């Protein structure tokens, strides 16, 4: 039906931060709210897609529609994404921690007078790049985000090529726009046409509107 153009399609969305353990009681993380990712999962489900939302720890209620899979670390997020395949479209909106702690302590680290512990970090998997790799399980459409404070479009074009995804939604996170933790976003879509340099600039929209617009754009792209 015209109001459910994604009926019969499968979608995957990542959202929120990840939490990387240091020991059984401590972790490294970031300030991602999950607002944009959750809104995208809800919008895809509203258009009829059978949607899996893989989310790190957030303070948001589960959106209506998607199946919600809760994870903590980047490695858990990647495993949950793989388990959700195959899908026709994947949208990576999570703020995945770039690093995890190598050799997580099995017991709570103690102040034993020997000075602060040294944390050794290891690189986390890049979920967007992993999902974008060519292969039988690759979604037809893989969408990533780029948050930049300068040379927005230029860096987003480079990021799209580096990650191997189809579309990048670039947003300006420099101070005046208030994107971080806020409720609105100014998006520049890269990769939405045959010209990899072409930029489709959207007006300032609420995160809910960005999600609806992206979901409609995805439905158009997947066709019937």
CB atoms closer than 10 angstroms to residue 209: 18
Q: Is 22 annotated as a binding residue?
A: no
Structure token digits, residue 76: 């858990």
Minimum CB distance to ligand C5P, residue 146 (Å): 6
Instruction: Look up 124 and say whether it is catalytic.
Output: no
How far is the first Cα of the chain from the last one, in angstroms, to the nearest whole number? Answer: 11
Give the separation between CA 107 and CA 74, rounded to whole angstroms: 21
For residues 55-94, which are near ligand C5P according to CB under 6 A? 74, 92-94
Find out whether 35 is annotated in a ligand binding site: no
Rg, Å, the chain Cα set: 18
Structure letter (DSSP) for residue 65 = S
Q: Is 96 in the site for ligand C5P (CB under 6 A)?
A: yes
Query: Shortest gap between Cβ of 113 and ligand C5P (angstroms)?
Result: 37
3-state helix, strand, coil in the chain (%, to 5): 25, 30, 45
Task: Give the active site residue among 30, 124, 171, 185.
Answer: 30
159 appears as a binding residue in the annotation: yes
**How many residues bind ligand C5P, per CB under 6 A?**
13
Site for ligand C5P in 113-172 (CB under 6 A): 124, 126-128, 144-146
116-to-60, 104, 106, 209 alpha-carbon distances in Å: 34, 15, 17, 46
**What are the binding residues?**
98, 108, 125-128, 145, 159, 163
Residues with catalytic annotation? 30
**What are the binding residues for CTP?**
98, 108, 125-128, 145, 159, 163
Binding residues for ligand C5P (CB under 6 A): 14, 74, 92-94, 96, 124, 126-128, 144-146
């Amino acid at each position: 039906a015209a109001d459910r153009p994604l009926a019969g399609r499968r979608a995957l969305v990542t959202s929120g931060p990840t939490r990387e353990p240091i020991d059984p009681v401590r972790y490294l993380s970031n300030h991602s709210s999950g607002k944009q990712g959750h809104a995208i999962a809800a919008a895809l489900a509203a258009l009829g897609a059978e949607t899996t939302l893989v989310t790190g720890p957030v303070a948001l209620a589960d959106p209506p529609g998607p199946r919600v899979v809760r994870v903590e670390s980047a490695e858990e997020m990647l495993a949950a994404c793989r388990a959700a395949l195959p899908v026709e479209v994947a949208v990576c909106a999570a703020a995945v921690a770039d690093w995890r702690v190598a050799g997580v302590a099995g017991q709570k680290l103690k102040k034993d007078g020997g000075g602060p512990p040294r944390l050794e970090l290891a690189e986390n998997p890049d979920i967007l790049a992993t999902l974008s790799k060519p292969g039988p399980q690759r979604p037809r459409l893989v969408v990533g985000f780029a948050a930049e404070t300068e040379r927005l479009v230029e860096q987003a074009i480079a990021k799209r090529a580096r990650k191997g995804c189809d579309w990048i939604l670039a947003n300006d996170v420099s101070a005046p726009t208030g994107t971080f933790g806020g409720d609105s976003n100014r998006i520049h879509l890269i990769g939405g046409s045959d010209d990899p340099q072409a930029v489709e600039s959207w007006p300032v929209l609420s995160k809910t509107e960005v999600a609806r617009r992206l979901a409609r754009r995805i439905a158009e792209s997947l066709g019937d």
